[in-house]
Structure 1
Amino acid sequence: MGTRPESGERAWLNEAIRRVEADANRSADTHLHVFPLPEDWGVDLYLKDESVHPTGSLKHRLARSLFLYGLCNGWICEGTTVIEASSGSTAVSEAYFARLLGLPFVAVMPRSTSPEKIALIEFQGGVCHLVDDPSTIYDESRRLAEETGGHYMDQFTYAERATDWRGNNNIAESIFEQMARERHPVPRWVVVGAGTGGTSATIGRYVRYRRLDTQVCVVDPENSAFFAGWTDPDATGSASRIEGIGRPRVEPSFVPGVVDAMITVPDAASIAAARWCSRVTGRLVGGSTGTALWGALHQIADLRSRGEQGSVVTLLCDGGERYADTYYSDAWLDAQGIDITPYERVLEEFGASGVWESPT
């Protein structure tokens, strides 16, 4: 019988997994904040604050899961160069875990990526590989992996399978444990964005597995492919101005069968909701949180219109500090031709009276 001489490899693997798990243990859990709504509405809104992770976003969970998945599949070994197609928060988080394990990390991203995002990745020890055509980031990542003998993480394929959706401290299990003592402990809706599709897949599978009466709503920014892809897997879109959730194609990790409703959200509404949330809660939030909040408020308005009560949960995906020069810049909005005023009026009126009127 032949055996592989892997005692040294297994020792490195054991230590690598220990370090990743130790990071999870140090991080504990993220807070579930109550959003201020009138109590007599009978509908409660909660924000799961993923911005408090060590790398500042929901993607810290994904990066941890992807690294554990790659390690346990034997794809990531001592000295492996880790490569990802990402110019956003996933790359920041993966660079963090690569440095934790002493591994080189390369983020393949469009040349138009903001200097601020590049600086965040480099701060975590990553190298940024810039390409002129954004549509080539996937193929270029595969090419670099082959050239270096490295591993292409491919978040858009593996996000939905790298996380154990039955439990094991995933985001769904965390939400429902934290909701256990609330007045409406089983949410009527959990509202999330479709970035890779991994979060909606995890939550959608979990509520079915646990036989819960919770429904999953996915919000999608304008021009993104996911809304059309809910019924047509061949649908295409274009690049999104709301970082982290909109995609020009339906990613392999998107599982439409576990999604109960979808809402497409104009970029102006996402930004207006992010700014409004920051004013109301005192917590500066990013654009994807605004998209999710707009969808959550839409569901709350629908519950109230039917005289129903319950709870709604959504995610505070990352902090707004990263977007001072975009979503929180009036000059940037003017340059993009975005007018958030009609959507701000909708939010202010809803907050004051509970009446939801679509912007004209």
Structure 2
Amino acid sequence: MANEKILVVEDERIVAKDIVKSLQRLGYKVVASVASGEEALQKVAETQPDLVLMDIMLKGKMDGIETTEEIHKIFDIPVIYLTAYADEKTLERAKITEPFGYIVKPFDERDLHTTIEIAIRRHLAEAATRVALEKEKQLSELKSRFWFMVAHEFRNPLTAILSSAELLESYSHELTELKRREYFYLIQTSVHSLNNLLNEVLEFGKAEEGKLECNPEPLDLVDFCRDLVEHMQFSSGSKHRINFTNLGDCTDACLDEKLLRHIFSNLLGNAIKYSPQGSNIYLELLCENGEAIFQVKDNGIGIPPADRELLFQSFQRATNVGSIPGHGLGLTIVKKCLELQGGEIALNSEVGVGTTFTVTLPLNICVQM
């Protein structure tokens, strides 16, 4: 039995009652029966019907065609015209509004049912097609931006590697030991940058395809954080100092260590990248009430308010990053890794003062799985 909501627009009272009774017998819900175009527009706004049965020859300021045009400007609702007779000019006007069908009065109940069902199914199919086309468009744009970003981000370290290698090959005998070390260091850091980018590209691809997996295992979060901080401190050298503090019992967690590394390598890496040299970075961990609450704090450039809502979308970066390198994938991956573990992330930031990311995770997702 059908449950679609239908609005009847018919100015002949007896005909309108007959239509309403037929629709109710067929199982449709009649949200209202009105006699004018103005009333029809009001009821469409109020009831949001699934379909409108519209008499073409309405009395009043607006006929059925004009009313349908107004409906189509605002609402995505299919209209079927009711008509006993209309001249060629009127029918041509009606065609322009792209109705989902015509029902000739006096109507046969079976024809009424068939026309309505075809119209509703066609409207659903068209809506699904529009959604699919929009998704395809978005995916195409995403792929274009993705490959542009990859090409751009790979070019810089590759150029650095090639230039350094050529200089070492051609002028090695003329270079001081210190200069040779600088070129070797540039090659190493460029390779490291390429490796990080490749890893993020691969993880982003998995995330977009829904192939990121969550495999929680028992984990001592304090040991995990200390190990991560030691690794990040070594990578950043002496340019920043990363401070770790913890409160509560965090030794008996059950989380996915790989996903956690993605999350906090990105957050700590961003804190280092966007903070002045010599400044402190803070990683704080609090375990209480079955939750692990992490905070990553910096004294960096901060994030403008208008940029904050977009930061977790692919390829989005804050407008104040200037020439600081980046590709806008890290926080997208962070969000995906958190969602897989039932976690949440929030940020508090002030431009020129710094940023704090707060990550909240259940301590033991093994119990929930």
Pair in the same fold by TM > 0.5: no
Considering Cα pairs closer than 8 Å and 6+ residues apart, tell me whether 1 or 2 has the greater RCO.
Answer: 1
More helix per residue: 1 or 2? Answer: 2
> In terms of Rg, which structure is larger?
2
Higher strand share: 2
Output the TM-score relative to the length of structure 2: 0.22
